[in-house]
A and B are shown apart, each in its own frame.
Chain A
Amino acid sequence: MNSIHFSRDARYFQIIFQCVFLAYGIVYLGWNAEWWLYFTYLGTSVSTQVLFETILARRRTHQWPAWNAIKNGLPSAVISAMGLCLLLKTNDYSTAILAAFISIASKYLIRFKGKHIFNPSAFGIVSAVLITGNAWISPGQWGSGTVLLFFVLCLGFIITTKVQKLDTSLAFLIPFGGLIFLRQVIYLGWPLDYFIQSISTGSLLLFSFFMITDPKTTPNHYKARIIWSVLVAAVSFYIVTFTFISTAPVWVLVFMQPLVPLLDYIFKAKLFHWKSPKPVKAKLIVFDPVQKKSL
């Protein structure tokens, strides 16, 4: 189980970078540092995680309390909470609590064959926006400075290499950017800086490198991952361009995630056929403590 060590490292890594992004927003971009909101997300996520772990541990092994399972799951809960801090805005305590609770609960309640279906942060964000109507995403919050572009790219690159899902990021980013380019520059005839402005928003890059790449909610086989990412890109492009919902990728991600089990089902046969020399990716499942318990 070498992969446990590996995946844990990647998660700590991710938390650090999420913190750097938040600090960047607060210090350099002058966001109103809404500490109450960040702590609400963090507190709720962690307590929900602990709650579910405890319940599961009791039901399965009658151990009490389940310190190991809790410890293993905490970084995931923090990552989800940080995802909310970076993206979801609200003025309301109850909305913040609901969003964080749904994020974490979805991991335990909406599962298929040992994998949870939805990316916790994305699912929490979408649910909070839909259910409460008083939460929102600010796509413009990062601006589109080119310095930031490289900053995000580099950091994102490293993190995705760490968890080996760079293929997902690129399979999303390249078709999405390509379609936008075709539409804005080739078809409509806008000058190049118009296109650059569209593509260099921090929100899009964060999404590509930190959200869509979640190893737990993307298909296991790399071919399936690429097909799936391209699909997300194409649908997002359509929605961004023709219905003017600038936060489309997050929505599309959530609504396309039910496709993942299907793709896993289809491509599993192939994976088996091919006898993939490196089944390591699939082993990332190990950082799901529930799974670990049941092993």
Chain B
Amino acid sequence: MKMKHLIIGVAVMLAPGIMSFCGFYVSKADGTLKNKTSQVILVRDGNKTVITMYNDFKGDTKDFAMVVPVPVVLKQEDIKVVDQDIFQRLNDYSAPRLVEYWDRNPCNNYPEMAKGLTGKVAGVQVSRDKYMDDAEKKETVKIEAKYLVGEYDILILSATESTGLKEWLLNNGYKIPDGAEEVLDPYIKSNLKFFVVKVNEKEKQKLNNNFLRPIQIKFNSPKFMLPIRLGMANADGDQDLIVYAFTRKGRIECTNYRNVNIATDKNIPLFVQKNFGMFYNNLFNHQWSKENKSVAFLEYAWDVSPQNYYHCDPCIATAPGEQDLVQSGVWWLGGKDWSDYSDVDNDEPDNGSKNVHFTRLHFRYNRNSFPQDLFFQVTPNTETFQARYIITHPANGDFTCDAGKKYLQDLKVRRKKELQDLTALTGTNLNNWQQDATAAADEETDATAQYRTLIPEVAAAAEHEKTWPASMIIMSALVLGGAGFMRWKGMV
């Protein structure tokens, strides 16, 4: 097979002081998630990949620039701009969800209701100071192609050594972050091209809007990855990345980092509703630290094929329609213009399937925990997954019947469990939630079953209880059992 180094990804050049983290969305439940978040849509089948990069740069567009390592010299028709709203739709649809249920009064009869809420994730971007359309300064850098796509001027560079490339970028007004060279060199030696983007002011003015549209590129490559290393060179601290992936077969997973399902289907206290965004942020942070940071978190996986009617349970936003999927780059659903991939080595034949599987992965990376770029594989795993948290409203009214008394007892037990889970999930001290618990309209609930009464009880119990994880016991038992067995067999 012809050797191809196919690295694609978002690399970001930042001018000093213009680092902008925009897109601070607020969920219905008055919560927020971390705002240093980039978003990428990956579409993959066989060796074909389509990548769409979210752009929510909100400064002076003259300051915008982006460098993306790409495996091949992209043709003009391989690059397009797409509707920005897709990202919002995909995010709304796949974000971690809060579900509400209502208890029935056992002494009465009420119809059951359920509805969902969500926390939302924000995006982040890129900038630079100025751009000059200079010809190449050194022979080590070559402009392979030059296009105007939508509001963007695009150059495809190839380089033979990193100092030349670095110099070229500097001379053309790009600020190279410290440490970028350590990454540029391996990329160049892997025969990557550099996709350099700036805004064409004339075209931008014609559009008459105040945002930059996402750029979508397509290419053929056996390598299925996102280069995050270049972006890391300048990112201070941890950076979030949400990957929305679409495949024909099933989930995608990371092959060089551990995949972990985020904790899901947990009953949490009612008062969390007011601060669901904060709750999820705490939860993610806690799980991320607990799993030693170098992990890929699965937040959502579902079959979203247009012919599949059950896209979620419950749905928190309209499922992406066929049009959204095609916009995202799911070429097998229609778009004929995306099917000219005749030069693929070892490609799987197009089997005409219209299936679409959606995976949402959430990374929080930094230089230490993520020494490598992200590599992925498509698996035939079609199991569904959603990050789902449940709150249950208590029943109201008169509980004087026997079943009613029993209900109050059960409610108390359930709420204690909810509080314990809240601590276990978020790693936060229960007392921090006392204010929320007091503020929540919990008045109609029997005093003994109110959260504010239960919090001190549960917190005190937690103090006393030696937190001996059951896992330690299991492990010890195993080791001891094994040792005993070997002793018995005369091996030790």
Contact = CB atoms under 8 A, between A and B. Distances in A.
Interface of A: 9, 12-13, 16-17, 19-20, 23-24, 27-30, 32, 89-91, 133-136, 138-145, 184, 187-191, 193-194, 196-198, 201, 242-244, 246
B88 interface: no
A136 B372 CA distance: 23
A113 B381 CA distance: 40
B371 A191 contact: yes
- Per CB-CB distance, the 6 closest pairs between chain A and chain B, nearest first, are A143-B258, A193-B371, A188-B186, A27-B471, A134-B380, A136-B379
Contact of B256 (A32, A90, A190, A197): A197
Given A89-B381, A189-B185, A140 B256 contact: yes
B485 A16 contact: yes
Given A143-B257, A143-B292, A201-B256, A246 B190 contact: no
Interface in B323-377: 346, 371-372, 375, 377
6 contacts: A23-B478, A138-B253, A140-B296, A144-B294, A188-B189, A243-B1
A69 B6 CA distance: 53
Given A20-B478, A136-B381, A138-B259, 14 more contacts: A16-B482, A30-B261, A30-B291, A133-B380, A134-B380, A139-B256, A140-B254, A143-B257, A145-B292, A190-B182, A191-B371, A197-B372, A242-B1, A246-B375
Given A141-B258, A189-B189, A198 B372 contact: yes
A192 B286 CA distance: 29
Given A143-B258, A242-B1, A23 B381 contact: no
Contacts of B409: none
A231 B487 CA distance: 38
A171 B474 CA distance: 35
Interface string B172-192: 000000000010011001100
Interface in B255-283: 255-261
B259 A141 contact: yes
B478 A246 contact: no
B382 interface: yes
Interface string B287-325: 000011011100000000000000000000000000000
B297 to A, nearest CB: 11
Nearest to A162: B491
A13 B486 contact: yes
Given A23-B478, A30-B291, A190-B186, A244 B256 contact: no
B222 interface: yes
A246 B186 contact: no
Contacts of A189: 182, 185-186, 189
B380 A23 contact: no
A294 to B, nearest CB: 28
B491 A9 contact: yes
Contacts of B6: 244
B259 A140 contact: yes
Counting chain A CB atoms within 10 Å of each CB, which of B253, B291, B372, B489 scores highest?
B372
B223 interface: yes
A89 B377 CA distance: 14
Contact of B474 (A27, A91, A133, A138): A27
Interface of B: 1, 3, 6, 182, 185-186, 189-190, 222-224, 253-261, 291-292, 294-296, 346, 371-372, 375, 377, 379-383, 471, 474-475, 478-479, 482, 485-486, 489-491
A272 to B, nearest CB: 33
Given A16-B482, A29-B258, A30-B291, A244 B224 contact: yes
A140 B380 contact: no
Contacts of B182: 189-191
B177 to A, nearest CB: 16
B294 A143 contact: yes
Contacts of A246: 255-256, 375, 377
B119 to A, nearest CB: 22
A23 B1 CA distance: 40
A138 B371 contact: no
Contacts of B372: 194, 197-198
Given A16-B482, A20-B482, A189-B185, A194 B256 contact: no
A78 to B, nearest CB: 14
Nearest to B346: A243
Contacts of A9: 489-491
A111 to B, nearest CB: 30
A91 B292 contact: no
Nearest to B254: A140
Contacts of A243: 1, 222, 346
A270 B372 CA distance: 46
Contact of B475 (A23, A187, A191, A242): A23
A188 B6 CA distance: 14
Contacts of B295: 143
Contacts of A141: 258-259
A12 B489 contact: yes
A190 B475 CA distance: 37
Given A13-B491, A20-B482, A140-B253, A27 B371 contact: no
Nearest to B258: A143
Contacts of A242: 1, 3
A194 B482 contact: no
A197 B370 CA distance: 9
Given A187-B189, A246-B377, A194 B383 contact: no
Contacts of B259: 138, 140-141
Counting chain B CB atoms within 10 Å of each CB, which of A12, A23, A140, A187 scores highest?
A140
Contacts of B189: 187-189
A242 B222 CA distance: 9
A13 B486 CA distance: 8
Contact of A138 (B346, B379, B486): B379
Nearest to B482: A16
A9 B294 CA distance: 38
A242 B6 CA distance: 10
Contacts of A188: 185-186, 189-190
Contacts of B346: 243
A59 B261 CA distance: 50
Nearest to B189: A188
Contacts of B486: 13, 16
Contacts of A24: 475
